[in-house]
């Protein structure tokens, strides 16, 4: 049987991790995979997470199964963090999932279960796992323009032209904030136009929210998601706690379905069913930590303070990289780096330039010239700027 298997395409981002590891040069700089790193290059366990883990060890009395949908307290606390009071809770159904990826997978399976012929629209470009999972599930897919290669901002005219072709019942996958891989984002007025257009078209938004708190702030980064949640009869939200709680390997996410209150029971039943088909009970450790933090005023305040440090550190790095690139290239071509938000910026370099940066300068970025801002520090910012000026100046 196994001889029938074909080799599968690898994730380019994950491949880069191995290449970096195998590079013996001590000067190497990793701007690849989207993991937050502090100035010393470490991905720390957040203070509130450590404190919650200690408390959990002391107070946890059982590790028996949780519910199929996860612990209700987790779903309630995380839904409230994402949605505020944008939608009445009698319209919300939700399941805990293994990470944001698990939430996206379950969302797509729910869509396929309800409307197998629906088309899922994704931004060009997007996170590679989006098209990979959509294709794996055998679903129809279409792309909308997103990135303007000249300005490195959003191609808003192209985006609106393409989304005008969405048909009633189609699903449109939107990055709630901090677009991956570009770092270019819609402003509030542009979100309003997108929402009006998609509502007219009868689309169902699927929001991927993986970086709440990494862009403009915890509440600000949820603003578009909240507007969408309030504006459509049906919405899916796939959210991740990997980055904002720094609990990547605990696999902590949520899928929220918003629909008519009258259909909540059936929607929740279908979400539970999908969890049961795929893995029965979702992982609980990370979800429990998140719940403990969100329900405890002191832990929550400390977590928010540390998340804010993380966010501001990335903003400072953005500004200093933009400044250094101004000096190194004697131009304002790279000013966009400072206005991008989240972990990533797509620099707009060619694949050959990306390869030269890796081979000659030991600087690792994804082949589409996406850099992880958090991979930099005060020492490496000028090194990167000088190398970019050399290969692309
Ligand atoms: N969606 C996007 C756009 C991402 O960048 C990520 C990765 O962090 C995820 C979803 C989900 O990540 P995870 O499955 O680790 O929670
Ligand atoms: O885009 C990134 O780098 C992060 C981490 O299969 C990631 O979202 C990358 C690849 C992958 C899962 C997570």
- Per the structure, the count of domains in the chain is 2
Q: Which atom of ligand 1 is nearest to the CA of 104?
A: 10
pLDDT score at 393: 77
180 lines ligand 2 (CB under 6 A): yes
- CA 210 to ligand 1 centroid distance, Å: 5
pLDDT score at 263: 96
285 and 252 inside one domain? yes
Q: Which residue has the tokens 């901090």?
A: 178
- Round the CA-based radius of gyration of the chain to a whole number and report it: 21
Q: Which residues have C-beta within 8 Å of that of residue 49, sequence separation ≥ 6? A: 245, 246, 247, 289, 293, 303
Closest CA to 43 of 209, 243, 211: 243
Element (H, E) at 190: helix 188-201
36 and 83 inside one domain? no
Say if 52 falls within a structural domain. Answer: no
Angstrom distance (rounded) from CA 130 to CA 139: 11
Report pLDDT digits (tens) over 169-205.
999 999 999 999 999 999 999 999 999 999 999 999 9
* Strand partners for 53: none
Catalytic residues: 127, 208, 210, 243
Q: Which domain holds residue 178?
A: 65-295
pLDDT confidence bin for 363, thresholds 50/70/90: very high
Closest CA to 32 of 273, 320, 368, 365: 365
Q: Which atom of ligand 2 is nearest to the CA of 181?
A: 1
264 and 319 inside one domain? no
ipTM of the complex: 0.98
Report pLDDT digits (tens) over 131-162.
999 999 999 999 999 999 999 999 999 999 99
Q: What is the pTM of this model?
A: 0.97
Q: What is the mean pLDDT of residues 351-356?
A: 96
**46: pLDDT strictly greater than 80:** yes
246 and 332 inside one domain? no
Token pair in block for residue 227:
């507007």
- CA 142 to ligand 2 centroid distance, Å: 22
Closest CA to 134 of 118, 145, 147: 118
Angstrom distance (rounded) from CA 231 to CA 95: 22
261 and 361 inside one domain? no
* Strand partners for 147: 154
pLDDT confidence bin for 4, thresholds 50/70/90: very high
> What is the rounded average pLDDT for all residues in the chain?
97
Say if 262 falls within a structural domain. Answer: yes
Q: Of 248, 269, 295, which one is at a domain's C-terminal end?
A: 295
258 and 387 inside one domain? no
The pick from 127, 146, 185, 346 for probing ligand 1's pocket by mutation, whose C-beta has the most ligand atoms within 8 angstroms, reads 127
239 and 383 inside one domain? no
pLDDT score at 258: 98
pLDDT score at 336: 97
Task: Judge whether 297 and 357 are in contact, CB under 8 Å.
Answer: no
User: Which stretches within 184-296 are classed as H helix?
Assistant: 188-201, 223-231, 264-278, 285-295
139 and 279 inside one domain? yes
pLDDT confidence bin for 322, thresholds 50/70/90: very high
**300: pLDDT strictly greater than 80:** yes
Whole-number percent of the chain with pLDDT over 70: 100
SS3 237: strand
Whole-number percent of the chain with pLDDT over 90: 98
Q: Which residue has the tokens 């996170």?
A: 127
265 and 320 inside one domain? no
216 and 342 inside one domain? no
Q: Of 235, 264, 295, which one is at a domain's C-terminal end?
A: 295
Taking phi first (over 0 means left), then psi (-120 to 50 degrees means alpha), and beta for anything else, what does residue 40 get? alpha
288 and 319 inside one domain? no
247: domain CATH number is 3.40.640.10
Distance of CA 326 to the CA centre of its chain: 29
Q: What is the mean pLDDT of residues 316-327?
A: 98
């Amino acid at each position: 049987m196994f001889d029938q298997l074909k080799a599968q395409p690898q994730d380019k981002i994950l491949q880069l991790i191995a290449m970096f590891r195998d590079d013996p040069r001590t000067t190497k700089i990793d701007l690849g995979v989207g993991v937050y790193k502090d100035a010393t290059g470490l991905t720390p366990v957040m203070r509130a997470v450590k404190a919650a883990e200690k408390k959990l060890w002391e107070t946890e009395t059982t590790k028996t199964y949780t519910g199929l949908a996860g612990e209700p307290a987790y779903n309630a606390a995380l839904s409230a963090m994402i949605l505020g009071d944008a939608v009445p809770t009698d319209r919300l159904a939700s399941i805990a999932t293994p990470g944001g990826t698990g939430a996206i997978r379950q969302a797509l399976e729910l869509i396929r279960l309800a409307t197998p012929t629906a088309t899922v629209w994704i931004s060009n470009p997007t996170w590679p796992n989006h098209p990979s999972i959509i294709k794996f599930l055998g679903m129809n897919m279409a792309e909308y323009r997103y990135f303007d290669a000249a300005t490195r901002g959003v191609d808003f005219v192209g985006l609106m032209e393409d989304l005008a072709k969405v048909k009633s019942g189609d699903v449109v996958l939107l990055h709630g904030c901090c677009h991956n891989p570009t770092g270019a984002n819609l402003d509030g007025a542009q979100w309003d136009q997108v929402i009006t257009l998609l509502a007219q078209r009868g689309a169902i938004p699927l929001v991927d929210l993986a970086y709440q708190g990494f862009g403009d702030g915890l509440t600000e980064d949820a603003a578009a998601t909240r507007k969408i949640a309030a504006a459509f009869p049906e919405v899916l939200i796939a959210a991740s706690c990997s980055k904002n709680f720094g609990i990547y390997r605990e696999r902590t996410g949520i899928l929220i379905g918003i629909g008519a209150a009258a259909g909540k029971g059936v929607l929740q039943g279908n979400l539970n069913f999908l969890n049961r088909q795929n893995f029965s009970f979702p992982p609980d450790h990370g979800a429990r930590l998140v719940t403990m933090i969100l329900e405890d005023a002191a832990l929550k305040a400390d977590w928010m303070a540390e998340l804010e440090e993380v966010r501001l550190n990335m903003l400072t790095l953005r500004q200093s990289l933009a400044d250094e690139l101004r000096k190194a290239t004697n131009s304002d071509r790279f000013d966009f780096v400072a206005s991008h938000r989240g972990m990533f910026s797509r620099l707009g370099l060619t694949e050959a330039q990306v390869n030269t940066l890796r081979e000659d300068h030991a600087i690792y970025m994804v082949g589409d010239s996406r850099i992880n801002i958090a991979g930099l520090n005060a020492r490496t910012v000028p090194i990167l700027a000088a190398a970019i000026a050399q290969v692309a100046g």
